[in-house]
Amino acid sequence: MYKKIFLLLFASFVLVQCSSSDDDANLLDEKTVAYDRAKMLVHWADMIIIPAHSAFQASLSILDNSTKSFVAAPNQSNLDDLRSKWLVSYKSWQHIEMFDIGKAEEIYFKSKMNIYPIDKTWLDKNIDNGSYDLENANNYSSQGFPAVDYMLNGIGADDTAILNRFTNDVKYSNYLTSIVNKMVSNTETVVNDWNNYRTTFIGSTKNTASSSVNKLINDFIYYYEKGLRANKVGIPAGVFSGAPLMGNVEAFYKKDVSKDLLLEAMNASIKFYSGTSFDGLSSGPSLKSYLAHLNTQKGAESLSISILSKLESAKTSINSLSNSFIDQIESENNKMLVTYDAIQAVVVLLKVDMLQAFNINVDYTDADGD
Amino acid sequence: MKFKSLPLYLFIACASLFLTSCSDDDDVVVDNTVTPPSTYKFERNGKNTVSHGGQTSRLKMASELYSGMKSSSSTKAGLNNMFNNGTGFSDATLNGTGKKIGSKTFASSVASSTVKPKFDAMITDFADNVIPNWSTTAANGTAGKMTDAGGRTVYINAKGHELTQLFTKGLIGGMTMDQIVNGYLTAAKLDGGTNIADNNAGTLVEGKDYTNMEHYWDEGFGYLYGEEADVKNPTLGKGVLLSKYAKKVNDSNSPGIGKIIYDAFIMGRAAIVAKNYTVRDAQAKIIQMNISKIIGYKAHDYLNDYVTKAAAGTPADAIHALSEGYGFVMSLQVTNDGTGKPYFSNAEVNVMLAKLDNFWTVSSADCTAMANQIKSKMSL
């Protein structure tokens, strides 16, 4: 009998001491536990992520229809239509690239949708061969929006030449159809998965490396730092190289939409940070309100306000650029660099100050090898 | 007997549980008193754990670039290769190491990306304008050479800039200081990834004798002490970058500043070994502020030197001083006052540099005013 009591007490001690290290970690920071992370996750899922994915899927479906019409009749009017649907969908994509979580992460969704510059050699080879494996990582830079950009704007010197390609050799239509189909099916996989994944996502509120809150915040910062800051601005402007790399601008073949795409990405980032719903009609718990709740100060200013005002100045700076970043880099690259600085100023606040306030670790490292 | 002793068993069992069951929690007191060694010598199991070869390489590269930027036999491609590609050095051990100065020039998270292209532009200007006019007499708007009676000769661009000085003094701030004070010694860098957990657990970088955090601190150390014959007994005054001017400031403006910085590097590194990050960050702050002051002193002194030498009728000397001053002023934007902020922002520095733009027409009064502004803002 005493043995039983002993065991019971022993067991209860183990439970009290170590039952849930996640909760204990939260208790370390009393202010953190007071913020309703669960509510924030529900808002993110239901008002931002899932609607953004639905809207994107719809835009892609329209792009798919236009592709079918164009392939059936490759004429100027269908080409113009397809290009405009491509742009609408590409802009819509800017709202979901940051959500590299769940199925999207598992199937390398963003790599298959938006790696640029394209690998022209591989892509041309794919078109010629007519056989390729789009699941192969070597083909990530031969599919998605940048590859469609090349097919619609880059495979001929002008529209006549481009239309001639499609008219004279079916291999171009085949490849275009194939990559658009792949975009549609990958998106379907991700969108469908959110039906199940939502429950897991909103239930994972703890402060651990694998929790939804920590992962999505890290995803957002990673996206802002790499996908937006580096890929769209820094790399083409030559921040990481000896000279500008104009071939690395987003939508390189269409040329005059690089600013549009960046602005869209910046708007998406501002909305996510502020907790604005995807439809723009409401707002809810967010990184901004979380910071405000913690009352974190940066110097004399509140960090939540400071981040927002720096995001807004970055947007203003983007607005001052040419529609085509190729033109901007050629005429006055310094303006690209000034914009880069404005975007970068937020990275420090997000990655250092905000994460410190949330007591969350960065889950990726800079590969700036030394 | 069983009755009597049971509570004791329980007490012992419970007490031991309390002490051991959750050893990774913060409420367990660990001894992290920092006991610094007298020199920068750190070992693990008898093996040296200090390594900063990449920094030493870059410091040596900078010396060759400094010479290259004042030699008429240099070429644009050659200088660009050295700066951006890490190749083309006469010291063959520096070639193709993967280390590049260009990628570490005004490259920290707080540095403006608008500055680095100015270094590329200096290389172009030197190769395209200064070298072809090596024997031309310089004038306002004309690159060439200028010689003081019985004294110094400088080779300058159309604005009177002695480019090797702007370039090299710019690197003192833009590479060595920026990498130390805004890069390696910041919590953002030191605590990145899983560094804290790894350092706490003594998890070493694969194949190395150090933890990532130790190594980052050492790399910061390397940008100042990387050319010392013996880091356990540093003399400063090495190479052409920060070490050279740390010695000058230690020997004149601020005696003892060298020891303050060295001791803080030792204490901070010992703090990492002791897993005491509060002490570590306090030492980082000391280093950030004092290295920033070295740059402040030199910017201040060279601006004043210019005024003195211009008044003394030695224009080549004056231009040489102002060229150094320009580079140090450029560097001010990546100082760190210990809170992560520079003493002068990029925009403030650009205002100063605009006043210094053309050395042929620069105003001595402006130079004096800027020197005073720096002195006052940085409490020199």
Judged by a CB distance cut-off of 8 A, whether residue A236 touches chain B is no
Residues of B in contact with A24 (CB under 8 A): 22, 25
**What is the domain class of A20-358 according to CATH?**
mainly alpha
User: Does residue B292 or residue B10 have the better pLDDT?
Assistant: B292
With cut-offs at 50, 70 and 90, classify the pLDDT of residue A18.
very low
With cut-offs at 50, 70 and 90, classify the pLDDT of residue A242.
confident
* CA–CA dist B304, B241 (Å, integer): 21
Please report how many Cα atoms fall inside a 13 Å half-sphere around the Cα of residue A87, on the Cβ side: 17
* CA–CA dist B147, B153 (Å, integer): 4
* CA–CA dist A95, A230 (Å, integer): 17
With cut-offs at 50, 70 and 90, classify the pLDDT of residue B32.
confident
Judge whether B262 lies within some domain: yes
- Is the pLDDT at A365 greater than 80? The verdict is no
Q: Among A26-40, A59-73, B230-244, B345-359, which is the least confidently predicted range?
A: A26-40
Query: What digits encode the pLDDT tens for the residues A36-60?
Result: 999 999 999 999 999 999 999 999 9
Give ∠ CA A155-A156-A162 in degrees, rounded to 5. Answer: 90
User: Does residue B320 or residue B151 have the better pLDDT?
Assistant: B320
Residue type, A98: M
Q: Among A187-201, A203-217, B291-305, which is the least confidently predicted range?
A: A203-217
Cβ-Cβ pairs closer than 8 A, A with B, add up to 78
- pLDDT value at residue A325: 98
- Is the pLDDT at B24 greater than 80? The verdict is no
CB contact under 8 A, A334 and B114: yes
CB contact under 8 A, B346 and A352: no
User: Does residue B11 or residue A256 have the better pLDDT?
Assistant: A256
Closest to B164 in 3D by CA, of B25, B9, B327: B327
Percent of chain A with pLDDT strictly greater than 70: 90
Query: What digits encode the pLDDT tens for the residues B303-360?
Result: 999 999 999 999 999 999 999 999 999 999 999 999 999 999 999 999 999 999 999 9
Judged by a CB distance cut-off of 8 A, whether residue A344 touches chain B is yes
What is the domain count for chain B? Answer: 1
The residue of chain B nearest to residue A241, with distances taken between CA atoms, is B103
With cut-offs at 50, 70 and 90, classify the pLDDT of residue B30.
low
* CA–CA dist A79, A329 (Å, integer): 28
- Is the pLDDT at A12 greater than 60? The verdict is no
Q: Which of B76, B85, B113, B218 is the best mutation test for A, with the most CBs of A within 10 A? A: B113
| A 28-57 residues with CB < 8 A to B | 28
* CA–CA dist B115, B120 (Å, integer): 10
- Is the pLDDT at B5 greater than 50? The verdict is no
Residue B298's contacts (CB-CB under 8 Å, 6 or more residues apart) are: B169, B245, B248, B249, B324, B325, B328
- pLDDT value at residue B192: 84
Judge whether B67 lies within some domain: yes
User: Does residue A1 or residue B206 have the better pLDDT?
Assistant: B206
CA distance A62 to chain B (A): 40
CB contact under 8 A, B25 and A241: no
Q: Give the range of the structural domain holding residue B168, as residue numbers without chain letter.
A: 51-380
Residues of A in contact with B9 (CB under 8 A): 6
- Summarize the confidence of residues B221-228 as an average pLDDT: 98
CA distance B139 to chain A (A): 29
Query: What digits encode the pLDDT tens for the residues A199-219?
Result: 999 999 888 888 999 999 999
Judged by a CB distance cut-off of 8 A, whether residue A333 touches chain B is yes
CB contact under 8 A, B17 and A13: yes
Residue type, A361: N
Q: Mean pLDDT of all residues in chain B? A: 92
Percent of chain B with pLDDT strictly greater than 70: 92
Query: What digits encode the pLDDT tens for the residues B250-288?
Result: 999 999 999 999 999 999 999 999 999 999 999 999 999
* CA–CA dist B269, B221 (Å, integer): 10
Label each residue of chain A as H, E or C.
Answer: CHHHHHHHHHHHHHHHHHCCHHHHHHHHCHHHHHCCHHHHHHHHHHHHHHHHHHHHHHHHHHHHHHHHHHHHCCCHHHHHHHHHHHHHHHHHHCCCCCCCCCHHHHCCHHHHHCCCCCCHHHHHHHHHHCCCCCCCHHHHHHCHHHHHHHHHHCCCCCHHHHHHHHHHCHHHHHHHHHHHHHHHHHHHHHHHHHHHHHHHHHHCCCCCCCCHHHHHHHHHHHHHHHHHHHHHHHHHHCCCCCCCCHHHCCCCCCCCCHHHHHHHHHHHHHHHHHCECCCCCCECCCHHHHHHHHCCEECCEEHHHHHHHHHHHHHHHHHCCCCCHHHHHHHHHHHHHHHHHHHHHHHHHHHHHHHHHHCCCCCCCCCCCC
- Is the pLDDT at B16 greater than 70? The verdict is no
Judged by a CB distance cut-off of 8 A, whether residue A341 touches chain B is yes
Q: Six-digit token pair at B140?
A: 């306002």
Q: Mean pLDDT of all residues in chain A? A: 91
- Is the pLDDT at B120 greater than 80? The verdict is yes
The residue of chain B nearest to residue A225, with distances taken between CA atoms, is B109
Neighbours of B151 (CB within 10 A): 9
Which of B26, B85, B192 has the CB atom closest to A365's CB atom? B192
